[in-house]
Chain A
Amino acid sequence: MNISYRNMKKIKHQSRILACWTLAIIFFFPIFWMVLTSFKTELQAISIPPLFIFEPTFENFSIVQERSDYFKYATNSLITSFGATIFALIIAVPSAYSMAFFPGKYTKDILLWMLSTKMLPAVGVLMPIYLLADAAGLLDTKTVLIIIFAMMNLPIIMWLLFSYFKEIPSEILEASRMDGCSTFDELRHIVLPLSWGGVASAGLLSIVLCWNEAFWAINLTAGDAGTLTALIASYSSPEGLFWAKLSAASTLACAPIIVFGWFCQKQLVQGLTFGAVK
C-alpha cells in the first residue's frame, strides 16, 4: 500500500515534469524555428517536409545587412530605447521620491491619473502628434520617438519607483535629515542606493517596451529614424517568398532583447506589475 502510494506520487511528479518540458518546447518552438530558418537557403526554408538537418548558411545575415542596412535600424532602436528610458527616469526619480516621502492630499489621485493616461489609445492622438511633429520638423527623427516613448512609459516608471521608494523606512530618512542631509544628498546617497533594484526594473521594462513598440515607429518614421519593428514590418509586403532572409532579420531584431529578458526576469516582473506583485 505504502509503496504503491509512493509510486503514484513518483509517477505524478514525473508526468508533471514531462508536461512542463512539453509546454516549454511548444512555446519556444516558433522562436527556435525562426532561428533555424535564418540559417537555411530560401529553397530549404520552404521545403516540404520541413528540414531540421541541413548545412547552415550565414548568407542571409550578410544580405539583410547589405540590403536593408540592419545596423542603422538597430542603432535607431538602441538610441530611442535607451534615450527615452533615461529621459523618463530623470523626470520620474525626483517626482516619485517626492511623492513617496512627502505625500500630499492628492498624491494618490495624481498617481491614478498618471496611470489613466495609459488608457489614451495611441490611434486617438496619432493625428495631432503627427501634425505637431510635422510642424516642428521632427517627422522621421529619433527625437520624436524618444519624446513619445518617454511619455508612454513615464506613468509605469512613476508607479514602479513610487512603490519601491515607499518601502524605504522613513526613519532612515529622518535620521539623515537630522544630520543635515540636503534633499539632493538624501536622494543620491540614501534613497537611490536602497532602491537600486527598483530603478533598474523600471529602466529595463521601459527599454523592452520601447524596443518592441510598433505603432508609433511604423506611423511616424520612414527611412531615417525607422526602428527594427518598422524594418520588420516593411518585410510584410508579399513580394515573393523570402522567409530565410526575413528570419535572419527577425532573429537579429529579437535576439538582443530576448537575451536581455532572460537575465532580467525578476526585475521585469516588478516592473510589469507596478511593483504590486512580489
Chain B
Amino acid sequence: MKFSVSKALQAPSVILLLLWMIVPLSMTIYFSFMRYNLLYPERYGFNGLSNYDFFLTDPALFSAVTNSITLVGSIIAISVILGLGIALLLQETFKGRGIVRVLLISPFFIMPTVNALIWKNMFMNPVYGLFAFVSGIFGWPVVDFLSDFPLLSIIIMLSWQWTPFALLIFMTSLQSMDTEQVEAAELEGAGFWSKFRYLTLPHLGRAIGVVVMIQAIFHLSIFAEIFVTTGGGPGYDSTNTTFLIFTQALLQFDVGVASAGGVFAIVVANIIAYFLIKTVAKGMAK
C-alpha cells in the first residue's frame, strides 16, 4: 500500500483527537487569564494571574488535593489487594464457579450515580440504613457514615465497584499461567507464599500495572459519587480537585477561575500520568 493511503486512513482519528485535545485545552488556558463570568459577561477582559491566585490560594485547595490522592491511593490499594486475593481463591474449581464469578463482577457494571445512591440510602442512612440496623443488633453506636466519615464512605462505594474490575482482569491473567511450572514448583516443595512470590506475582505484573493505570485515570476525576452523596462536605472533607473546581467556579459561572482550576487539574493529572505511562504503557506497546 502506498504511503499516502495509510496516512489517509490514520488521518481522521489523529485529527479528531488532536482537535478534541487542542481546542478545549487552548481555550481553557486562554480563559484562565481572563476575567469572564457568564453572569456578568460585560466585565470581560485580561486578568493576568489573578484567577490562578484566587484558585491556588483557596484554603480548600490543599484538602482537595490530599483528598484526591487519598481517594486514588486507597481505592487502588483496596481493589488490587482484594481483587488479587479473590482471584487466587477462585482458582479452585467447583460447581457453581460460573455463578460466583458473575455475582462478583456485577458491581462493576452499576452506574456511578446508582452505586452512590444505593449505599447512601439503603446502607449508610443513620436511621433506616442496614448498617444502622446491624449496629443496633450488636448494640454498637450508630454511625452517620456520610457526615462522620465522608471520604471513607466514598472509598467504600468505589472499592465495591472497582474490586470486581481488578478481579476480572486478574482472573483472566491467571488463566494463562503456566501450570507445568507451578506443578514443578510444588514437586520441589514450594509453599503457597513462595509460589505466590516467585511465580504468580511476576506473572501478574503486567495485569497489575494495567489495573493501576486505568483506575488512576478514572479515580482522579471522581465526580458523580461525590455529587450525589456528600456534595463535597461536610465542609470540604470529601471534596476532591474535580469537585472543588465544580463548586468554586462552575456553580458560580466563573469561567475564568474554573479554567485556572482546570489547568491546575490538567497539570496534576499529567504529572501522575507521566510516571504511569512511562512504567506501564511502554511495556504494553512492546
Identify which of A61-69, A137-145, A192-200, A231-239 touches chain B. A231-239
Count of residues in B whose CB is under 8 Å from the partner chain: 98
Q: B169 near A272 (CB under 8 angstroms)?
A: yes
Q: Which 5 A-B pairs have the closest CB atoms?
A: A124-B262, A214-B224, A128-B27, A125-B24, A119-B273
Q: Is the CB of A24 within 8 A of B104?
A: yes
Of the residues B13, B27, B285, contact of A91 by C-beta under 8 Å? B13
**Cβ 8 A contact of B285, one of A34, A111, A232:** A111
Using CB atoms, name the residue of chain A closest to B91.
A16
* Nearest-Cβ distance from residue A147 to partner chain B, whole angstroms: 9
Q: Which B residues touch A129, using CB under 8 A?
A: 24
* Cβ proximity bits B211-229 to A, threshold 8 Å, 1 near / 0 not: 0001001001101100111
For residue B281, which residues in chain A have a CB less than 8 angstroms away from its CB? 112, 115
B132-174 at interface with A (beta carbon < 8 Å):
133, 136, 160, 163-165, 168-169, 172-173
Could you list 16 further interchain pairs (A-B, Cβ under 8 angstroms) beyond the known A126-B258, A214-B224? A17-B92, A27-B160, A94-B10, A110-B14, A119-B273, A123-B223, A123-B262, A124-B28, A124-B261, A124-B269, A127-B28, A127-B250, A154-B17, A233-B113, A265-B102, A273-B210
A238 to nearest B CB, angstroms?
10
Q: Is A122 touching B104 in the complex (CB atoms < 8 A)?
A: no
Write the chain B residue with the least CB distance to A274.
B284
| Distance between Cα atoms of A91 and B8 in the complex (Å) | 11
- Which residues of chain B from 22 to 36 have a CB within 8 Å of any chain A CB? 23-25, 27-28, 31
Check B112 for interface membership: any CB of A closer than 8 A. Answer: yes
Residues of A close to B273: CB separation below 8 A: 116, 119
In chain A, positions 76-121 with a C-beta closer than 8 Å to chain B are 91-92, 94-99, 101-102, 104, 108, 110-112, 114-121
B81 lies within 8 A of chain A by Cβ? no
Contact between chains at B285 and A108 (CB < 8 Å): yes
Residue B263 is within 8 A (CB to CB) of chain A in the complex: yes
Q: With CB as the reference atom, state the residue of chain B lying closest to A236.
A: B228
- B27 and A25 contacting across the interface, CB-CB below 8 Å: no
Q: Is B28 a contact partner of A229 (Cβ separation < 8 A)? A: no
Chain B residues within 8 Å of A253, by CB? 111, 114
Q: For the complex, is B190 an interface residue (Cβ under 8 Å from A)?
A: no
Bound Cα distance from A33 to B133, whole angstroms: 14
A131-155 to B contact mask, C-beta < 8 Å, 1/0: 1100000000000000000010011
**Which of B89, B112, B169, B255 lies in contact with A16, CB distance below 8 A?**
B89
Of the candidate stretches B122-130, B179-187, B193-201, the one touching chain A is B122-130
Which residues of B sit under 8 angstroms from A131, Cβ to Cβ? 27, 255
Q: A124-B263, A183-B1, A208-B109 are in contact. Are A33 and B130 (CB under 8 A)?
A: yes
Whole-angstrom CA separation of A124 from B5 in the bound complex:
35
B9 x A124 contact (CB < 8 A): no
User: For window 210-247 of chain A, which residues contact chain B by CB distance below 8 Å?
Assistant: 211-212, 214-215, 218-219, 228-230, 232-233, 235-236, 241, 243, 246-247
Does A168 count as interface, using CB distance less than 8 angstroms? no
A143 vs B261: C-alpha distance when bound (angstroms): 27
For A27, what are the chain B residues with a Cβ–Cβ distance below 8 Å?
Answer: 103-104, 106-107, 160, 163-164
What mask results when residues 76 to 113 of chain B are scored 1 for a CB within 8 Å of chain A, else 0? 00000000001001101010110111111111111111
Are B265 and A124 in touch, CB under 8 angstroms?
yes
